[in-house]
Amino acid sequence: MAVVGAGGIGSVFGGRLAAAGHEVWLIHRRPEVVQALQRNGLHLTAPTTAEPPPHPRPPPDQSPSVRPAVEPLRVQRAVQPPSGQPFAVDPAKRAAGLDLHIRLHATIDAAEVGDVDLVLITTKAFDTLAAAESARPLVNPSTCVLSLQNGLGNLETIAEVLGAERSLLGMTYLGAAVRGPGHVAFTAPGPTFIGEANAELSPRVLNLAEAFSAAGIPTQATDHLWDLVWGKLVINAALNAACALLGAGGDDILGSDAASQLTGIVAEETARVAAALGINLPYADAAERVWQHCHDIGSSKPSMLQDMERGRPTEIEAINGAVVRTGQRVGVPTPYNQALLLLVRASEQVRVRRTAH
């Protein structure tokens, strides 16, 4: 398999699968990251509380039609990583949490890899088109392409470039952060869900879910993925922009009456857009679910805050922007999402202007 966009989440998935014995290529556009991975392998760490649970934990009120998979992913090529050892654990550090050093393949050029069984796209939403184009050399007639990205629109972009027949969609509640070239840390546990765009529980989706779960990433196949995607979008729309603007983690939101109220209002507004689409969210109370997520992630920083702190573009257009555009289409007002969208856009524009001067 190949991971296109091997940042935090991509490295977690790729690293866990490599440690389980699959042949994995991490594709990254920064030469210094590729060089570190080639030289030292992937360093994957986490405090004990951030390690993923041993079995999938579905969100509240999850439908029983979400099912675990039944067969392992079939890999057609040799699975031994370059070092001859899938991974090594430092026993002295194990008690403090996850500490893996994983040997795998890394490159800046997808053409070096050749075709693979699975392409995992984990780039930021604004890079999806470029990622899909770069993945062309990885694809053969039987290749699956799985998007594990935030926001809306990624699946459609990938399908347009690489083919709808091979495109799958997933979402994950795992949190991860890049600590340095070749070093990624788990920051929050959580389940992962994958499915077909047409809601079919296909053998390939079941196989992938089983392979991910066996590698230590609790994953379930589902035939109501869009409900779950919107379930996460409600959380991201309410939390990511607010945390990015406030410089806050989950604990900070819960510790502020005003921040808690704001995120709850945005969650309920986004849930109304989902309802207008006929989406059945996997929880009864959108605001309560967002606050529960704040509790789950604790002091961890959402990805949009990490992006703003590093001076990188954010995924605001694919999250709150997508909610605003969808709300306009279905006739649901979204003033709070619109305000967050404009505030994050303004913050990015001010930063760019200051940097230019």
Residues 238 and 215 in one domain: no
Residues 308 and 342 in one domain: yes
Q: What is the CATH number of the domain that holds 351?
A: 1.10.1040.10
Asked if residue 159 lies in contact with residue 129, where contact means CB atoms within 8 angstroms, the answer is: no
The single residue listed with the structure tokens 């994950």 is: 172
The amino acid that residue 164 corresponds to is A
3-state DSSP assignment of residue 100: strand
Please enumerate, as own/partner, the contacts of 86-90 that have beta carbons within 8 Å and a separation of 24 or more: 86/18, 86/19, 86/20, 86/21, 87/18, 87/19
**Rounded CA gap, 246 and 18, in Å?**
37
Partnered with residue 176 across adjacent β-strands are 186
Residues 205 and 254 in one domain: no
Q: What is the CATH number of the domain that holds 134?
A: 3.40.50.720
Residues 142 and 243 in one domain: no
Residues 101 and 242 in one domain: no
Cβ-based neighbours of 3, under 8 Å, separated by 6 or more: 10, 11, 13, 14, 24, 25, 26, 27, 120, 122
Give the other-Cβ count within 10 Å of 299's Cβ: 10
Phi, psi angle pair for 332, to nearest 5°: -110, 120
Note down the domain range covering 217: 2-223
Listed residues 207, 223, 239: the one ending a domain: 223
Residues 18 and 112 in one domain: yes
Strand bridging mode 87-89 / 97-102: antiparallel
Give the other-Cβ count within 10 Å of 198's Cβ: 9
The amino acid that residue 31 corresponds to is P
pLDDT at 48: 52
Sheet (strand 87-89) strand order: 87-89, 97-102, 42-47, 183-188, 175-180
Residues 171 and 205 in one domain: yes
3-state DSSP assignment of residue 195: strand
Asked if residue 50 lies in contact with residue 187, where contact means CB atoms within 8 angstroms, the answer is: yes
Strand bridging mode 118-121 / 219-222: unpaired
Listed residues 164, 189, 223: the one ending a domain: 223
**Rounded CA gap, 6 and 12, in Å?**
9
Per-residue pLDDT of the chain (357 residues; tens, 9 = 90+): 999 998 999 999 999 999 999 999 999 999 999 999 999 999 999 865 444 433 333 333 433 333 333 333 333 222 233 333 333 334 333 334 578 899 999 999 999 999 999 999 999 999 999 999 999 999 999 999 999 999 999 999 999 999 999 999 999 988 888 999 999 998 878 899 999 998 889 999 999 999 999 999 999 999 999 999 999 999 999 999 999 999 999 999 999 999 999 999 999 999 999 999 999 999 999 999 999 999 988 888 898 998 999 899 999 999 999 999 999 999 999 999 999 999 999 999 999 888 887
Tokens of 357: 């001067």
Residues 211 and 254 in one domain: no
* Residues in the chain, total: 357
Residues 253 and 149 in one domain: no
The dihedral built from the CA positions of residue 101, 104, 107 and 109, taken in this order, carries a sign that is negative
Residues 350 and 261 in one domain: yes
| Nearest to 280, CA basis, from 209, 242, 346, 225 | 225
Listed residues 223, 242, 261: the one ending a domain: 223
Residues 238 and 212 in one domain: no
Domain count for the chain: 2
**Rounded CA gap, 232 and 78, in Å?**
36
Residues 208 and 237 in one domain: no
pLDDT at 64: 32
The pTM is what?
Answer: 0.82
The single residue listed with the structure tokens 């001010």 is: 350
Exposed e or buried b for every residue in 256-267, given b needs 16+ CB within 10 A?
eeebbebbbbbb
Asked if residue 327 lies in contact with residue 333, where contact means CB atoms within 8 angstroms, the answer is: yes
Write the secondary structure of 256-285 as one string of H (helix), E (strand) and C (coil): CHHHHHHHHHHHHHHHHHHHHCCCCCCCCC
